[in-house]
Amino acid sequence: SKSTAATTDDGIKSLSLPPSKPPLQPPSKMPPPMTAPPPALIPPSFSPPAVLPREATTL
């Protein structure tokens, strides 16, 4: 019975996809905001540079 519920969820999700398309439009506007997240990822990128010094030590 739980399996059937899971299938129902899948079916609902499939139906949600069509409705999800309209909601996806708002996310489309998020691309600009999404660009901000990448910058946030840059800080973590700086962490790798810390590893670069390690490489320098290897040199």
Beta-strand ranges (E) seen in 1-59 are none
- Rounded CA-CA distance 49/55 in Å is 10
What's the predicted TM-score (pTM) here? 0.12
d(CA 30, CA 37): 11
Token pair belonging to 6 = 């899971």
Confidence tier at 57 by pLDDT (50, 70, 90) = low
Segment 11-48, tens digit of pLDDT:
555 555 555 555 555 555 555 554 555 555 555 555 55
Q: Which helix or strand (DSSP H or E) is residue 26 part of?
A: helix 2-29
The rounded distance, in Å, linking the Cα atoms of 29 and 26 is 5
